[in-house]
Copies of this chain bind each other. A is one copy, B any other.
Amino acid sequence: MGRSRVQGKHAGLTREQVLEAAVRLADRDGVEALSMRKLARELDVEAMTLYHHVQNKQGLEDAIVEHVLAESLGWPPESGAWQEVVAGYAHDLHRGLARHPGAVLLFATRPAITPRSLAILETLVRLLREAGFPARTALHLVYAVAGAVVGLHLGYAGDQNREPAAVADLAGEDLPVLADALADGPVTMESRLDFTLTALIAGFETLLPADGRRLSPR
């Protein structure tokens, strides 16, 4: 019954298929429900088979992050107003995470140190330096923006996910200011992103050495 597989037969499974199924499963059921055995079942294969395409579960998770990252982040433009480049980068990341909620927690727990993300980081920092930021400040800036985006999604990815919207219900008469703040409806992810991004970019601008040494050195 049902058990119709045969030892040794090649099922033609590829690493790409494994990753796609893993992302699908994590998005559908939540990352905490992602197990090697369930993933294998999904692919109509035995669990141990997966270990030929992935080193272990941790390796699978790393690969998921890389996969989603590659799908989300294009190459930043080599030139342009830094404010827009940074905002574009943030929005790309945001859209990627929105499309793959199952990957959010993995993003949060893994430093992005693949060659690809480092190269993107390099490009961004170079652009910011050309805009007048000291290199170190530029690095801080990118970290702050990336952290804000991931942090934003975390708040909405918590499992059963009574997101901040639920605060509205809880904010009874004893929390009048909160109730007032939520009177216009719940705080959406988009509005939080826009707000945080605006504030961060405005804040960065005040940190920029006043002259803007890009073209005219004085």
Given contact pairs A136-B181, A199-B203, A199-B207, enumerate 12 new A-B contacts (beta carbons under 8 Å).
Answer: A110-B158, A111-B164, A113-B166, A119-B175, A135-B180, A140-B187, A143-B192, A150-B154, A154-B154, A198-B207, A200-B203, A202-B206
Q: Which residues of B contact A151 (CB under 8 A)?
A: 108, 147-148, 150-151, 154
Q: Kindly state whether residue A167 has any CB partner on chain B within 8 Å.
A: yes
Q: Kindly state whether residue A170 has any CB partner on chain B within 8 Å.
A: yes
A32 to chain B: closest residue by CB: B109
A143 touches B105 (CB 8 A): no
A109 touches B154 (CB 8 A): yes
Tell me, in angstroms, the Cα distance from A93 to B156 when the chains sit together. 20
| Central interface residue in A110, A154, A192, by most chain B CB within 10 Å | A154
Nearest-Cβ distance from residue A125 to partner chain B, whole angstroms: 5
Which A residues, 108 to 129, have Cβ-Cβ distances below 8 Å to chain B? Answer: 108-111, 113, 118-119, 121-122, 125-126, 129
With known contacts A122-B175, A147-B152, A150-B151, A181–B138 Cβ distance under 8 A: yes
Tell me, in angstroms, the Cα distance from A149 to B198 when the chains sit together. 18
Tell me, in angstroms, the Cα distance from A180 to B121 when the chains sit together. 13
With known contacts A143-B164, A207-B202, A125–B178 Cβ distance under 8 A: yes
A139 touches B178 (CB 8 A): yes
Chain A 160-183 near chain B by CB (<8 Å), digits 1 or 0: 001110110011000101101110
A201 to chain B: closest residue by CB: B203
Which listed residue, B105, B140, B177, B199, touches A195 by the CB 8 Å rule?
B140
Nearest-Cβ distance from residue A147 to partner chain B, whole angstroms: 4
| Central interface residue in A113, A137, A195, A201, by most chain B CB within 10 Å | A195
Q: Kindly state whether residue A191 has any CB partner on chain B within 8 Å.
A: yes
| Central interface residue in A110, A119, A136, A184, by most chain B CB within 10 Å | A136
Which A residues, 59 to 115, have Cβ-Cβ distances below 8 Å to chain B? Answer: 105, 108-111, 113
Tell me, in angstroms, the Cα distance from A196 to B201 when the chains sit together. 11
Tell me, in angstroms, the Cα distance from A137 to B191 when the chains sit together. 10
